[in-house]
Structure 1
Amino acid sequence: MSRRSGTGWAADLALGARLVFAGGRNGLLRTLMTALGVGLGVALLLTSTSVSTMLGGRSERTAARDDQFFGVDQPPPGDRTLLVMAADTTYRDAAIRGRLLQPDGAHPPVPPGLTRLPGPGELVVSPALARLLDSADGALLRPRLAHPVVGTIADRGLSGPNEYAYYLGTDRLRPGGGTMRIDRFGTEPSGEALDPVLMLLVLIIFVVLLLPIAVFIAAAVRFGGEARDRRLAALRLVGADTVTTRRVAAGEALVGAVFGLLAGAVLFLLGRQLVERVTLEGISAFAEDVRPSPALTVLIVLAVPALAVAVAQLALRRIVVEPLGVVRRSADRRRRLWWRLTVPIVGVALLAPLRGGIDQTGGPVNQAQVITGVVLLLVGVAALLPWLVEAVVGRLRGGSVSWQLAIRRLQLDSESSARMVSGVAVAVAGGIALQMLFAGVQHDYVRATGQDVSRAQTMVLVRGDLAGADAGSLAERFRSVPGVDRAVSVLDATVSPVGSVPDEYGERPGTLLRIADCTAVRELASPDRCVDGDMFQIVDDQSPARADLPAPGQQVELGFRDPETTRWTVPSGLRTVPTRTDPSGSRVTGLLATPGALGPATLHGLGATVYLTMDLARPDTIELVRNVAAGIGPGADVQTLRATEEVTRFAQLRRGLYVGVVATLLLLGASLLVGILEQLRERRRSLAVLVAFGTRRGTLGASVLWQTALPVLLGLALAILLGTALGGILLALVGQAVRLDWSSIGAMSGIAAGVVLLVTGASLPVLWRLLRPTGLRTE
C-alpha cells in the first residue's frame, strides 16, 4: 500500500480505528480490556470532580436547618416563634443529631424536611435512625428515644441519606440555659478559611489521590501493545511510511480512549446509584449530589484522549517498526537514567525556595509551585521504576523453575509489569509523604484539654429544672450501671442579689452556687476539713481578677428565672478555700455548700454535673449511662473526657486522606487485575505450550505471582525512598524537623502489598482456565 498524496491525517486516524475492529474476537477483547482499564480511572476522576458538589449540597442543607444562632439577639415570644434545644447524643460511636421543639404560638417555623412540628412526646426521625431503632442493633438506643414515631425527615432536612437525626416535640422547655428562641431556620452557608499549613495538606492530598489515576490511565492505553505493534509492522510491509504508522497508532489509541470514556461514564453512573449505601467516617452523600463539575468534566474528556495519543507516540520511540517485524529494546541499549533522575530533581528545585516559608500565620501558599514540585517528585517514581526493574532483573540468575520463568519473562519485557504497578507505587509514595507531614504538624493541631482522665472518664451535664433533686440519689442512679466504678454528683444553681432585674430572656445575672457532699467538695475545692452542713467561698488564686461574691448576711435569690426563685440569706462565717481544677479542666469561683447547709429539695432551677469513673472498654457501659442520663431529663448531655483534642478541620483532612488513599488503592487494584488478565490472555498460547510439555500448573501459578510480586517489591522500595524524601521536603516547608513515621510507612506499604496479593490471587482462576489444551488453538 503506497501512501497517496491525497491521504491525510484524518484517513490515517480512521484506518487505525477500523483496525481495532478488524482483529476478530481477540481485537475486540483487547479493546474491551483497554476500555475497562481506562474506564475505571475515568470513573474515579469523575467521582473526584464531584467532591465539591457533594460537599456543597451537604453544606447547603445543614445551613438551611441551622437553629443555633449564637451571638444573635433572640426574638421576643410570639405567634411565630419556637423554643429549641439541642439534644444530640451518640450511639456506638455514631453521632445522632437531636432537637427538642416547643412552639410559642400557632404559626411557628418548621424545620426543613418536616411538614409540621411534632406534638409533645411525638418523635420524627430520619430514615436511617428509623431502621436502626427497628433493628436488633438498636436495642440499647430504644430506651433513650421511647416515644411514638409520627413521621420521617425528608431528604432536604438531612446532611446525608445515612444521617441519624430526630426531632422531639415537648412542652417542658423554658427560655435560658441551653434553650434558644428562634423565628426561623437556616443561615447562609459559610466556609472557614484554611490556614497555609492546612491549605498545603489539601493541595498534596489532591495531587496524591489524582496523580496515580492518571499514571494508570497512561498504562491502560498500552494494553495489547504487542499485537498493536505487529499490526503496524504489517502496514509497513504493504507500503505505509513511518508517519502513517504513527497516525494509525494514534487512531487506535483514540478508539480505546473514547470507549474508556464511555465505560467510565457508565461505571460512574452505576456507582452513583450505590453511593447512598456507603457511609465513611460518619459521612454519606445523596446520589443527586454526586455531579461532576462541568469544567473539570470537559477537561477529563479532552485530556484522556490526548494522554492516550501521547502515550502511544512515546511508546513507538522504544521500538522500530519495519516491514519484516518489530525490533524492541536491543541488548546494547539500556534505559537512560539521567533524564529519569532529572524529573524529581527539578521537583526538589521548585520546592526548595519555599523552605520554612509556610506556617499557620503566614501568607498564602504558592499553589502552582507546590503542585508542580510535588507532581514532578511523584512522577519520578513512575519514571524510575522501569529502569530499576530492568536493572535488577537483568542481574538475577538461578532459582526454582517458577522463579526462572518469572525472571526470564521480566527480562524479555519488564516495561509492561513496571507500567502496571507504577500507579500503586506513586500512591504509596504520596501517602507516605502525607502521613509524615500529618505526623510532623499534628502537635500544632492536637491540643491539651486540661481534662484529668485519671479522676473521671465521663461527665454528664443535666440542663433544665431539677426541682427537688438530691445529689446522692442522682449519683446512685449512675452508680448502679454495670461498669461504672464511681459517680460524683454536683447540683448547680444561680445566686442573684434581691431585686436584680432579669434580662430580656428572663435570666438573672448572678454567682454560681454548687451543692455537693464532702466527697464531691474535694473534687471542686481544697478545704482543710469538711462535714455535712459546711459552706464555703471558693476563689481562684491563679486568677488575677476575683469574682464579686455575695457578702455574708446578704439576702439573695436562688434560681436564674422569675418567678421560680427562693429567698435565702448568705450565712455568716463562710470559710474561704481555694478552688481546684475539676475533672473537666474547669476552675470556678462562687459558693459551695453541702446539702446540710442548704436543703436542695426546696429549690428550683437546679442543674447537675456528674463525674463518672468507668470502664470504657465495655461498649455497653457508655450506652447505659446515656440511657440513664436521658431518663433524668431531655437536655442531659454525656461527654467523654479526653486529655487531648484534635482541631476539627485537621481531623477531617486526616480522615479524608485515609478514605481517599484506600479508595485509590482499591481502584488501582481493580485496574491492576485488568492489566494482569490482559497479559495472561496475550500469553495464553505460550502458557498452554508449557503445560503441554509437562510444566506443572502450580509452577506456572507461582511464576505469575513472582512476576507480579518482584516489580511490586521494587516499586514499594522506590516509593518508600522517594516518599520519605518528599515527606522530609514538605516538613522542611513548614519548618518542622524531619522525622520518619515508620508506622505510616509500614501501614501504607502493607495495604499496597495486600491489594496486590489479592489481585494476583483473583487472577489465578483465569490462569487455570487458560492452561487448558484449548489454549493451543489459534485463529
Structure 2
Amino acid sequence: MSSRFGITFLIGLRLLRGTGRAGKVRFLLMSLGCALGVACLAAVLTIPAILSAHDSRAAAREPQPVSGVLHARSTEDTVFLIRQDPYGAQPFTRVFLGHPAGRPSPLPPGIDHLPEPGEVLVSPRLREALTERPGLAGLVPGRITGTIGSDGLTGPNELYAYIGRSPGQLPDSARPLGGFGSAWAPTPAVDSSTLDILRFTLTCVVLLPLAVFLSVCARLSAEARARRLAALRLLGLGVKGTLRVNAVETVAAAVIGAVLGVAAYALANEALARIGLPGLQWYPPDGRPTAAVLAFCLLACPLLTWLVGRSRAREAALRPLQVRRGAQPGPPKKYGMLLLLPGLGVLCGYCALGALGRDLSGGPANAVLVPVGVLLTGAGLVLALAPTTAWLARRLAGSTHSLPLALAMRRNEVEPGSSLRVVTGLVLLVYAASLAQGVLVELAHISRPASPTQEYALPLSDLDDVQRARMRQVEGVRAQAVTMDSWMAEVDSNMPRITAVVADCAQLAAFTAVPPRGCVDGRIQRLTDSDVADDLNAQPGRTYPFLLRADGEQGTRTQKFRITLPPDHLVIRARQPSALVGADVRIPPSALPPGMRPAAGRFLLMSSSAPETVRTTLDGLGALAPTAEIEALGINVEGLQQIAVIKSLLGAGMVLGLVIGVAAFAVSAADRAMERRGRLAMLNLLGARPLTVRAAQCIQVLLPLAVGLVGALVAGRLAESSYLITGGGTVHWDGDGLPILAISTTGILLTATLASLPLARRHVDLEHIRRD
C-alpha cells in the first residue's frame, strides 16, 4: 500500500515539473489564489480575537468598590471616581484616585504605582492629544509623571488617564476602592447582539465569495488536468491512484498557498496594527492568528481544493475515453432552484409585509428567517446561474442570425461552467455589497445628529456660583437654564412631583424648537409640550414646594419656595433629546428670593451640534469642573464607539470582498484564456475574422455576467430591505443606494468587456493545433 502511494506521489510530482510553461503558470495562479484567499480568511477569523482582547483589558482595569452595602467611606480608604466624556466619537476616560499617604493600595494593570495628589498618568495617545489641543489640559489637572503601559489599555489610541487627588478633594460620590478587575468589560467593543449581525454580514460579504474563489482556484486548468489523468488511467493506473495523482497537484498548490497566505496576513497584521482602523486599534499580538486559526487555515484550504478537484478527477478516472475524446458534459443540474426559490420567498414575504405597514421588528423568528433567507438566496444565485444561462443560450442560439452571438451562445449552452467561473465572484460581490450597504444605512441613521443644538447637563451639587458664572462664558455656549424637581418629604412619598425650569423667555426660546408665543417675563407659567402627553401630577391651582439654598458666611441656609400652578398654560415644543422634555412650569429667575438658588437640580447649557463646537465646549466645561459629571444629552459615547467599530469592520470586509471578487475574475479570465487558445486557433484556421472572434468572446462572458448581476441586484435589494424592515429602524427602503449599485454594476460589465478582448489573438501557435 505504501509503495503504491509513493509511486502515485512521484507521478504527481513529475507531472508538476513536466507540464511546461503553461502548467507552471497555472500552478502559480493556484498557489497565489489560495494565498490571497487564506490571507482574507485569517483576517476574518482573527476579528473575534481582537475584540476579545479589547474587552479583556477593559475588564482587568475596571475599578471595583469595596464589597458590602454597609461599608461607609472613611479617611483610611482609597477612593475613586470615574468620569467619561466624548472626544468626538471616541470616549475619554478619567479615573480620579485619592489614597491616604503611607497606606498600600491595589494597582491596575499597566502602572507600577498610583499617582500622588497633583500627579497624572496618561496613555500615549492622550499625551499626544494634550500637545495637539492645549485646552484639553484642564480635564487632567496635575503634572504628567508617567505613561500607562499596553496591559492597561484597550488599544494604542485610547484616551485614558489616572489622576491623583487627595481624598478630601473628591466629592461624596467617590466610592471606596476594593480592587481592580471585573468578570466582564463595562463597555464591550461590540455588544453580543450587534456582534451576531456583524458575523452574519461578514459571512455574506467575505466568506461566501471566498469559498467560491477557492473553488475557482482549485478548478484552474481543469480540462487539461482531466485529459492528463484520463491518459494515466488508460495507461493502466487504477481509479484510486488517478485520484491520488490529482490530489498531489491540487493539495500541493493549496498547501503552498495556505502557508504563503498565513505569512502574508502575519506581515499585514504587524503593519495594520500600527495604523489601525477608524474606531478600532489593536496591538500586534492581539491580531496574530491563534493555533486554532492556523490549523483551520492550513487545513480548510487544502481540504476544499481536494473536494472540488476530486469531482472532475473522478470523472476522468471512471470515463477516461470520453474525457480524452472531448465528450461534452451533461446539462447543468437544476437543483440550485430549490435553494433560490425558498430564499426569495422569505425575502419577498418580509418586503410585502413591510410595504403593507406591518411592524416586523423584534421577535426570535426574524433572527432565524432573515439570515436563512439571505444565505439560501446567495447560494441559489450561484447554483441557478448555470442552468439559467444554458437555457437562455439555447433559446438565443436557435433564434439569432448573428454569427458572433451564435458562436457565443452555443459555447455557453454546451459548456456553461467555463464562463461561470469568471463571473460568479463578481455576482456574489454585488449581492453581498447590497446587504452590507443596508447595515451601513441603519448605522448612519442611528449616528446622525437629529438636532441642530447640543445640550449639556451638570448636577448643581457639583458646582458653585463661581463655576456656574464662568461656564456661561465658555466658547460655544449659547444659553443656560436650570431644571429642578419639587420638594418631597421622605415621610410623604405619595406627594406628586413636578419639574420646573428656571429661565427667562429668551433662554426658554433658545432651548425649544419653535419660540413659544405668549411668554411673559416675570410671570410664573405652566408649560405643556405639543409632542408630550400632559403630566397628571401638574394640576392647575395646586401648590408645590421647591427647596432653595443660600451659601453664606454663617453656613448653608435652606428655604421652601412655594408656587401655585396658574390655570393658563404656555405651549412649547422641546427638541429631542432635551432636558426640557416633560417640564411642567417655568419660573423666571427674578421670581426667586434674592440670594437663593435651587438646592438640587441640573444646570443646563446649550451649544450648536457641530462636532468641533461640541468638542470645544466639553473641553471648556471640563477645565472649569474636572470632577463634575457632564452629560452631553443624546450623545452615547459607547454607542458611537461601537458604531465606529462596526463601520470599520464592515468597510474592511467590503474591501476584502472586492479584492476576492476581482481576484476571482482575474484568475479565472487568465486560466480561461489559456484553455481557449486551442479553440481560437481552430477558429482562425477556419477563416473566422478577428472581430467576429472577439465579439463572440465578449458575448460569451457578458451573457452570464449580465444575468447574474441583474439577479444579484434584485435579490440584494430584497435582502437589504428585509434587513432594514426587521431591524427596528425608521428607514425601510434605501433609495439612495440603488444608483451607486447600478453604476458599480455597469462598471463591472464594462471592465469584463475590456478584459475579454485580449483573449482572442490572430496569431496561431502550432502547439495549439490538434486533431479532434
| Class of the TM-score when normalised by the shorter of the 2 chains | 0.7 to 0.9
In structure 1, the partner of 2:378 is 378
In structure 1, the partner of 2:616 is 624
Moved more, 247-256 or 6-15: 6-15
Moved more, 45-54 or 620-629: 620-629
Show CA shifts across 1:572-597 (max 9, x none): 67665869664443324688450573
In structure 1, the partner of 2:262 is 265
Task: Report the CA distance shift for 1:78/1:327 in structure 2 as closer, same or farther (over 3 A).
Answer: farther
**CA apart distance, 1:230:** 4.3
Aligned equivalents of 1:448, 1:686: Cα separation in 2? 56
Alignment of 1:599-614 (within 5 A): 608-612=603-607, 614=608
Task: Report the CA distance shift for 1:724/1:275 in structure 2 as closer, same or farther (over 3 A).
Answer: same
User: Amino acid of the residue matched to residue 381 of structure 2?
Assistant: V
Checking the alignment, whether the CA contact within 8 Å between 1:82 and 1:109 is kept in structure 2 is no
Checking the alignment, whether the CA contact within 8 Å between 2:548 and 2:598 is kept in structure 1 is no
1:716 paired with 2:716, answer no
Alignment of 1:563-578 (within 5 A): 566-570=556-560
User: Amino acid of the residue matched to residue 423 of structure 1?
Assistant: G
Aligned equivalents of 2:15, 2:348: Cα separation in 1? 49
User: Amino acid of the residue matched to residue 380 of structure 1?
Assistant: G
Checking the alignment, whether the CA contact within 8 Å between 2:480 and 2:507 is kept in structure 1 is yes
In structure 2, the partner of 1:37 is 33
User: Amino acid of the residue matched to residue 622 of structure 2?
Assistant: A
In structure 2, the partner of 1:597 is 592
Show CA shifts across 1:737-766 (max 9, x none): 9976454455456557768978999x89x9
**CA apart distance, 1:282:** 0.7
Q: Structure 1 stretches of 5 or more lacking a match?
A: 502-509
In structure 1, the partner of 2:251 is 254
Choose the corresponding residue for 2:208, options 195, 202, 211.
Answer: 211
Task: Report the CA distance shift for 1:265/1:471 in structure 2 as closer, same or farther (over 3 A).
Answer: closer
Aligned equivalents of 2:91, 2:42: Cα separation in 1? 31
In structure 2, the partner of 1:506 is none
Aligned equivalents of 2:434, 2:563: Cα separation in 1? 65
Aligned equivalents of 1:527, 1:472: Cα separation in 2? 29
**CA apart distance, 1:176:** 4.5
DSSP-derived class of the 2:281 partner: coil
DSSP-derived class of the 1:113 partner: coil
Choose the corresponding residue for 2:480, options 480, 484, 489.
Answer: 489
**CA apart distance, 1:68:** 8.2
**CA apart distance, 1:81:** 1.8
**CA apart distance, 1:67:** 4.1
User: Amino acid of the residue matched to residue 386 of structure 1?
Assistant: A
Show CA shifts across 1:557-584 (max 9, x none): 458xx99963143456766586966444
Aligned equivalents of 1:594, 1:237: Cα separation in 2? 102
In structure 2, the partner of 1:164 is 159
**CA apart distance, 1:609:** 1.2
Aligned equivalents of 1:49, 1:398: Cα separation in 2? 52
Alignment of 1:113-132 (within 5 A): 113-119=110-116, 122-132=119-129
1:150 paired with 2:142, answer no
1:460 paired with 2:462, answer no
Show CA shifts across 1:571-630 (max 9, x none): 567665869664443324688450573456999988631123x373xx643443334333
**CA apart distance, 1:145:** 6.6
Moved more, 355-364 or 197-206: 355-364
Aligned equivalents of 1:601, 1:760: Cα separation in 2? 80
**CA apart distance, 1:474:** 4.2
In structure 2, the partner of 1:339 is 335
Moved more, 153-162 or 237-246: 237-246
Aligned equivalents of 2:244, 2:198: Cα separation in 1? 42
Aligned equivalents of 2:35, 2:349: Cα separation in 1? 39
Aligned equivalents of 1:755, 1:276: Cα separation in 2? 32
In structure 1, the partner of 2:285 is 288
Aligned equivalents of 1:461, 1:555: Cα separation in 2? 19
Task: Report the CA distance shift for 1:713/1:225 in structure 2 as closer, same or farther (over 3 A).
Answer: same
1:63 paired with 2:59, answer yes
Checking the alignment, whether the CA contact within 8 Å between 2:91 and 2:641 is kept in structure 1 is no
> How many aligned residue pairs are there?
732
**CA apart distance, 1:37:** 0.9
Aligned equivalents of 1:128, 1:265: Cα separation in 2? 31
DSSP-derived class of the 1:101 partner: strand
Choose the corresponding residue for 1:429, options 419, 428, 431.
Answer: 431
Show CA shifts across 1:132-187 (max 9, x none): 5556xx6886787797543322212222233333344456953246x555433332
Alignment of 1:294-443 (within 5 A): 294=291, 298-316=295-313, 322=320, 326-328=324-326, 330=328, 335-336=331-332, 338-345=334-341, 362=363, 375-390=375-390, 395=396, 415-432=417-434
User: Amino acid of the residue matched to residue 713 of structure 1?
Assistant: A
Task: Report the CA distance shift for 1:689/1:338 in structure 2 as closer, same or farther (over 3 A).
Answer: closer
TM-score, normalised on structure 2? 0.73
Task: Report the CA distance shift for 1:729/1:150 in structure 2 as closer, same or farther (over 3 A).
Answer: closer
Aligned equivalents of 1:65, 1:381: Cα separation in 2? 49
**CA apart distance, 1:79:** 3.5
1:660 paired with 2:653, answer yes
**CA apart distance, 1:379:** 2.0
User: Amino acid of the residue matched to residue 428 of structure 1?
Assistant: V
Checking the alignment, whether the CA contact within 8 Å between 2:545 and 2:560 is kept in structure 1 is yes
User: Amino acid of the residue matched to residue 480 of structure 2?
Assistant: S
Task: Report the CA distance shift for 1:238/1:100 in structure 2 as closer, same or farther (over 3 A).
Answer: closer
User: Amino acid of the residue matched to residue 536 of structure 2?
Assistant: P
Checking the alignment, whether the CA contact within 8 Å between 2:403 and 2:692 is kept in structure 1 is no
TM-score, normalised on structure 1? 0.73
Task: Report the CA distance shift for 1:184/1:284 in structure 2 as closer, same or farther (over 3 A).
Answer: same
Task: Report the CA distance shift for 1:604/1:636 in structure 2 as closer, same or farther (over 3 A).
Answer: same
In structure 2, the partner of 1:520 is 507
**CA apart distance, 1:637:** 3.6
DSSP-derived class of the 1:183 partner: strand
Show CA shifts across 1:357-405 (max 9, x none): 99776558896x987765443222222233445555674879999x999
Checking the alignment, whether the CA contact within 8 Å between 1:539 and 1:589 is kept in structure 2 is yes
In structure 2, the partner of 1:89 is 86
In structure 2, the partner of 1:220 is 217
Q: Structure 2 stretches of 5 or more lacking a match?
A: 492-496
Moved more, 65-74 or 512-521: 65-74
In structure 2, the partner of 1:504 is none
Task: Report the CA distance shift for 1:77/1:291 in structure 2 as closer, same or farther (over 3 A).
Answer: farther
Show CA shifts across 1:699-748 (max 9, x none): 99999988766654333212224445656787999999997645445545
**CA apart distance, 1:86:** 0.9
Aligned equivalents of 1:251, 1:281: Cα separation in 2? 43
**CA apart distance, 1:239:** 4.3
User: Amino acid of the residue matched to residue 60 of structure 1?
Assistant: S
Structure in which a larger fraction of residues adopt helix:
2
Task: Report the CA distance shift for 1:199/1:553 in structure 2 as closer, same or farther (over 3 A).
Answer: closer
Checking the alignment, whether the CA contact within 8 Å between 2:499 and 2:582 is kept in structure 1 is no
**CA apart distance, 1:35:** 1.4
DSSP-derived class of the 2:480 partner: strand
Task: Report the CA distance shift for 1:416/1:248 in structure 2 as closer, same or farther (over 3 A).
Answer: same
CA-based RMSD of the aligned residues comes to 6.0
User: Amino acid of the residue matched to residue 100 of structure 2?
Assistant: G
Task: Report the CA distance shift for 1:398/1:626 in structure 2 as closer, same or farther (over 3 A).
Answer: farther
**CA apart distance, 1:63:** 1.6
DSSP-derived class of the 2:632 partner: strand
Choose the corresponding residue for 1:187, options 174, 182, 185.
Answer: 182
DSSP-derived class of the 1:339 partner: coil
